[in-house]
């Protein structure tokens, strides 16, 4: 039986193994983005996969070279001003980029201070990485440039991000059939305990830090307004109690 001609990573996500991985990734993104707040969020790549579906941010966009993205543009040169987005998700975008470091720099540029990026990547030090290295398939995802977890962390740190979370996932071997994937599902619970660095997929969550910049969030602004009103009220009460100052 010949190998299916997956032209894109989105096509591969319709295969049995692709659906398995996609379900694991969707679960992580749904849980993670629900706790990130702000005004604008952007998903770069895989526009057909709703990784921002559970985001509470009111304005969400997808960007890719082709439809069905909301914005069709080169992810290496994001067409947005600096400090625009509170959240950017990069699901496997770096692995299929001509210049992944440039793409990450662009993400840093358009992320606001204290905004976050969430990355999904294939782990080269896993059975997925072994399949890519020893296999002969030249279709996605095996023709991607799998980026090591430590390298992705280094890039984020050099740009000015603080890595604040992440995990590995997809510990089941990259079988091509649903039957064998189902038989291997027990490995997902055992993976973190017995071989924590061997997950087929990793996730990273990082916050943009800008020295000397104090971000006033809506909640913080409301608290400061309440403090100011309370201070003014106490000052008026003190003046009323003591009466006007007496001048000689």
Q: Is residue 3 included in any domain, yes or no? A: no
- Same domain for 160 and 231, yes or no, is no
Q: Is residue 138 included in any domain, yes or no? A: yes
Q: How far apart are CA 70 and CA 173, in angstroms?
A: 34
Choice among 8-17, 166-175, 180-189 with the minimum mean pLDDT: 180-189
User: CA separation (Å) from 205 to 71, 87, 118?
Assistant: 24, 10, 4
Mean predicted lDDT score pLDDT of the chain: 86
- Which of 35 and 236 is assigned the larger pLDDT? 35
Q: Is residue 2 included in any domain, yes or no? A: no
Question: Which tokens is 29 given?
Answer: 């993104």
Range 128-134 average pLDDT: 92
Q: Is residue 150 included in any domain, yes or no? A: yes
Q: Is residue 25 included in any domain, yes or no? A: yes
- Same domain for 154 and 116, yes or no, is yes
Q: How many CB atoms lie within 10 A of CB 21?
A: 25
pLDDT at 6 exceeding the cut of 60: yes
- Same domain for 20 and 47, yes or no, is yes
Nearest to 163 by CA among 116, 196, 110: 116
- Which of 216 and 120 is assigned the larger pLDDT? 120
Give the model's confidence band at 239: pLDDT under 50 very low, under 70 low, under 90 confident, else very high: very low
Count: domains in the chain: 2
- Same domain for 235 and 199, yes or no, is no
- Same domain for 228 and 134, yes or no, is no
Give the model's confidence band at 137: pLDDT under 50 very low, under 70 low, under 90 confident, else very high: confident
Q: How far apart are CA 46 and CA 30, in angstroms?
A: 15
- Same domain for 191 and 207, yes or no, is yes
What's 193's domain CATH number?
3.40.50.150
- Same domain for 24 and 114, yes or no, is yes
Q: Which DSSP category does 103 fall into? A: H
| The predicted structure's pLDDT at residue 183 | 85
Q: Is residue 201 included in any domain, yes or no? A: yes
pLDDT at 244 exceeding the cut of 60: no
Domain range for 218: 213-243
Interacting residues of 180 by C-beta distance below 8 A, sequence separation 6+: 173
- Same domain for 220 and 208, yes or no, is no
- Same domain for 119 and 226, yes or no, is no
- Same domain for 206 and 220, yes or no, is no
Q: Which residue has the tokens 């071997």?
A: 173
- Same domain for 159 and 88, yes or no, is yes
- Same domain for 152 and 229, yes or no, is no
At 51-91, the pLDDT tens digits run 999 999 999 999 999 999 999 999 999 999 999 999 999 99
């Amino acid at each position: 039986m010949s190998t299916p001609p997956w032209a894109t990573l989105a096509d591969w996500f319709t295969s049995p193994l692709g659906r398995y991985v996609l379900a694991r990734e969707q679960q992580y993104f749904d849980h993670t983005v629900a706790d990130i707040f702000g005004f604008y969020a952007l998903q770069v790549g895989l526009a057909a996969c709703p990784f921002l579906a559970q985001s509470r941010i009111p304005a969400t966009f997808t960007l890719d070279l082709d439809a069905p993205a909301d914005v069709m543009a080169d992810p290496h040169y994001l067409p947005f001003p600096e400090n625009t987005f509170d959240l950017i998700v990069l699901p496997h975008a770096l692995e299929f980029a001509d210049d992944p470091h440039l793409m990450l720099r662009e993400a840093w540029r358009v992320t606001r201070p204290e905004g976050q990026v969430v990355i999904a990547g294939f782990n080269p030090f896993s059975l997925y990485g072994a399949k890519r290295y020893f296999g002969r398939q030249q279709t996605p995802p095996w023709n991607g440039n799998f980026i090591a977890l430590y390298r992705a962390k280094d890039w984020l740190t050099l740009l000015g991000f603080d890595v604040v979370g992440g995990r590995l996932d997809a510990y089941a071997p990259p079988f091509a059939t649903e039957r064998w994937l189902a038989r291997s599902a027990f490995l997902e619970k055992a993976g973190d305990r017995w071989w924590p660095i061997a997950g087929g997929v990793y996730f990273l969550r990082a916050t943009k830090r800008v020295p000397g910049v104090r971000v006033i969030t809506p909640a913080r602004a409301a608290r400061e307004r309440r403090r100011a009103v309370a201070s003014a009220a106490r000052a008026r009460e003190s003046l009323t109690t003591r009466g006007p100052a007496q001048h000689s």
